[in-house]
Amino acid sequence: MSEDVSIPISQRASVNGASFSSDFFKGLNPEQADAVRSTEGPVLVLAGAGTGKTRVLTTRIAHILAQGLAKPWEILCVTFTNKAAREMRERTTRLVGPSAEGLSNLGTFHSIAAQMLRRHAELVGLKSSFNIIDDDDQTRLLKQIMEARRIDTKRFPPKLMAHFLDQWKNKGLTPDKVAKMTADEGAQFAFNKGPELYAEYQERLRVLNACDFGDLLLHTLKILTEHPDILEHYHRRFKYVLVDEYQDTNIAQYLWLRILTNANRNLCCVGDDDQSIYGWRGAEVDNILKFERDYPGARVIRLERNYRSTQHILSAASGLIRANSARLGKTLFTDQEGGEKVRVQGLWDGAAEAQGVAEDIERLKKQGRAYSDMAVLVRASFQMRAFEERFLMLQIPYVVVGGPRFFERAEIRDAIAYLRLIQSEDDDLAFERIVNVPKRGIGDATVQKLLMQARLAGQSVMAAVRDLVQTDELPARAKTPLVGFLRDYDRWVAALKSTAHDALLDMVLTDSGYYDMQRADKTSGGTRIDNLKEMMNAMQDFENLEAYLEHVSLVMDLERDNGENSVRISTLHAAKGLEFPVVFLPGWEEGVFPSQRSMDENGLKGLEEERRLAYVGLTRAREIARVSFVANRQVFGRWTSQIPSRFIDEMPIEHVEATSQTGYTQAGWQSQESRWDRAGYQPNHTKSETKTEGRFSDRLSGVDMSRLEKKPQPHRQPAAKPQPSKGLSVGTRVFHSKFGYGHVVETEGNKLVVNFDISGEKKVIDSFVEKA
């Protein structure tokens, strides 16, 4: 989110000097200053890409503090990600010094809601020690509920139900409200059992003393609605409310903000409708579009001066986004004249594309650019593979953003489940995860019996186990290991008081035989144990177990790979808020980007969101943006003909420089037309339109489409020119990727076998072998 120019030293010097507040305004343009200064009443700041959004927010906080308008804890400032929150805190600290530490209400929607909910948990039937479950637990819980009701989980996948559940929660709908929506697709789930399942799910969560992410908001919303005294308290407390990335709020978040800002309307929302790319996750662009209606008398301030990109890049992006209908409209401008035009290149296939990008990278590197100045941004993660392989071959260091995350690793989740169970005995989901990990001879059948018993008795599974062990209802084969498990468990709980929590985990893992199990497993190569050690290290930073668990459930972003000097390969979504001098945007083909599925499922709305994604991609670039597409692409192992994305045509030609090595085939064109037909869309350019003056597609390959022969061409790349893999001999260490460090174990012609130390995975790379 380093969206703007760094703060001049003169301002940093003005730390904690309330009387120097005017210094904050130095270097701000008039609109930015206006946005900072308008502290009375509701304000919407429409901040285009690269216009200094974060700077406005942080300066605004600094200004409020410096003017003595509020104490640090009287400012509510919400973001979406922990990263954004962290950055906001850091940058505010730079402006106002240590007093920024007191900003206790600066955080993500979820962390702030969790804070509030812990304080009033009993009002919604929870204990304040409640656990926060993730979507894996959510799905498993749903599955249990459905199986207990004898719903065919094959016909009605719990995953799908979980999806509906999320959608309802995003919209702030409670089970009773859903029950009335008979037309709703989710409500009709499994023969209209949607609402029932929802209700039972909520009830089960209450019994488990747990809640999911959506509940954090919904429960607080409920408390605020039903308890005017509490609401009153927060109204008095939050004198100023600031919201980052307002275009990404969903309805629940909207309602939550609404109620919190009702009486006190010093609300400042910052966002950009053109960068709303999370619609599929419940974000409502409408929230930002109707802000003025929601808050009558609101001021709308547009930030249109872009400090990031050159003229050509900005104009290409603006031209593109102009094709969208649902937008408030902004015209970005910059002082940075000229620069390189956006280059669009057509290539034969994915391998050629990766090769082209890699060559460009090496060329730019020779011209003195750092690898970390460059990024490859793709639509979907499967597109990353080709680049990884190529980069590996040429020894270009790279980092993949969004690989398997630390907390999603099985061993970490197991350890957390143990801790959760120790923290709260009611946590059946944690119990289920670890009763038989490592294997204790407690099989599925036994677990099912326990769950059933617990449900019948209306108690938690641990309680049920305690009871059952006293009786003779269980066969000795199941009973003995359970008794052993209980004994261990009780010892751990007792140890919780006397032992540091990281040492406790070590004890748990030793006693339970988890370490032994991992050591016995040769495939992991000891890295799992390293991960666990790493986790214990991290635990030391927390007061107690409870604090740590809160952290992991909400702040799952430990251990980010920080590729110091590496090219970044990332999805477009994950690149939001970042910027790079050089950006490569491969895979701009109809059906890939814009994604066919997105258009099929959401029609025009989906297409417009894809277009915003393209806009986000282009505007990440400071100096160089290079778009590419291919004529042939392998999708799910099948070769398909592609045609360039309509987005390519939508960039104004005068800001684009087109080159093509191969052009594209008539076959591709045709197959795309029929694809459009089937989906009921009108392509932006039809055959007759191809002749339109200045259209990119004309210049592209210099081929008259109508004269190309009809029969499909074989999708073979003319001649693969083998390149020697430079200096990659057996034993060479290859840098970090999402697979971790690795060593070359075998080279043979074009084939390269790499053994990755961290995952234990062996990967064969043969990017030069021709694919028929």
Chain contacts with DNA (rule: CB under 7 A) = 80-83, 108, 110-111, 134-135, 153-154, 213, 280-281, 379-382, 402, 436, 439, 441-446, 554-557, 571, 573-574, 595, 597-598, 601, 606, 636-637
Q: How far, in Å, are 415, 431, 447, 465 from residue 453 at the CA level?
A: 26, 14, 10, 9
Q: For the residues of 234-260, what is the DSSP string, one character each?
A: HHHH-SEEEESSGGG--HHHHHHHHHH
Confirm whether 761 is a catalytic residue.
no
SS3 readout for 420-439: HHHHCCCCHHHHHHHCCCCC
Radius of gyration of the chain (CA): 28
- What minimum distance in Å lies between the beta carbon of 563 and DNA? 16
SS3 readout for 136-193: HHHHHHHHHHHHHCCCCCCCCCHHHHHHHHHHHHHCCCCHHHHHHCCCCCCCCHHHHC
Burial (CB count <10 Å: 0-12, 13-18, 19+), residue 51: buried
Catalytic residue among 11, 92, 202, 275: 275
Of 134 and 534, nearer to DNA (C-beta) is 134
Contact 705, 690 (CB under 8 A): yes
Dihedral in degrees, nearest 10, Cα atoms 456, 458, 459, 461: 40
- What minimum distance in Å lies between the beta carbon of 86 and DNA? 9
* Joined tokens for residue 725: 């893999």
Chain-centre distance for alpha carbon 460: 33
- What minimum distance in Å lies between the beta carbon of 302 and DNA? 27
Q: Rounded CA gap, 481 and 437, in Å?
A: 12
- What minimum distance in Å lies between the beta carbon of 211 and DNA? 11
Confirm whether 53 is a catalytic residue.
yes
H/E stretch holding 657 reads strand 656-660
Determine if residue 52 is labeled as part of a ligand binding site: yes
Confirm whether 245 is a catalytic residue.
yes
Determine if residue 49 is labeled as part of a ligand binding site: yes
Q: What is the DSSP letter of 365?
A: H
Q: What is the DSSP letter of 227?
A: -
Catalytic residue among 4, 87, 244, 349: 244
Determine if residue 740 is labeled as part of a ligand binding site: no
Of 281 and 691, nearer to DNA (C-beta) is 281
Of 384 and 658, nearer to DNA (C-beta) is 384
- What minimum distance in Å lies between the beta carbon of 122 and DNA? 22
* Joined tokens for residue 643: 């045609």
Determine if residue 631 is labeled as part of a ligand binding site: no
Catalytic residue among 245, 349, 388, 608: 245
Confirm whether 54 is a catalytic residue.
yes
- What minimum distance in Å lies between the beta carbon of 139 and DNA? 9
Q: Rounded CA gap, 227 and 215, in Å?
A: 17
CA atoms within 13 A on the CB side of 509: 27
Of 11 and 595, nearer to DNA (C-beta) is 595
* Joined tokens for residue 733: 């260490």
- What minimum distance in Å lies between the beta carbon of 728 and DNA? 22
Contact 99, 11 (CB under 8 A): no
Single out the residue of 83, 30, 74 nearest to residue 54, CA to CA.
83
Determine if residue 605 is labeled as part of a ligand binding site: no
Catalytic residue among 53, 420, 675, 738: 53
Chain-centre distance for alpha carbon 95: 29
Contact 581, 310 (CB under 8 A): no
Contact 301, 291 (CB under 8 A): no
- What minimum distance in Å lies between the beta carbon of 256 and DNA? 13
Of 307 and 615, nearer to DNA (C-beta) is 615
Helix axis angle for 384-394 and 350-366, nearest 10°, is 50
Of 107 and 319, nearer to DNA (C-beta) is 107
Confirm whether 448 is a catalytic residue.
no
E-state strands within 212-365? 240-243, 267-271, 299-303, 342-349
Of 250 and 619, nearer to DNA (C-beta) is 250
Of 307 and 514, nearer to DNA (C-beta) is 514
- What minimum distance in Å lies between the beta carbon of 573 and DNA? 4
Q: What is the DSSP letter of 8?
A: P
Provide the 10 A C-beta neighbour count for residue 105: 22
Of 295 and 681, nearer to DNA (C-beta) is 681
Q: Rounded CA gap, 702 and 696, in Å?
A: 10
Binding-site sequence positions: 47-54
Give the active site residues: 53-54, 244-245, 275, 620
Binding-site sequence positions for ATP: 47-54
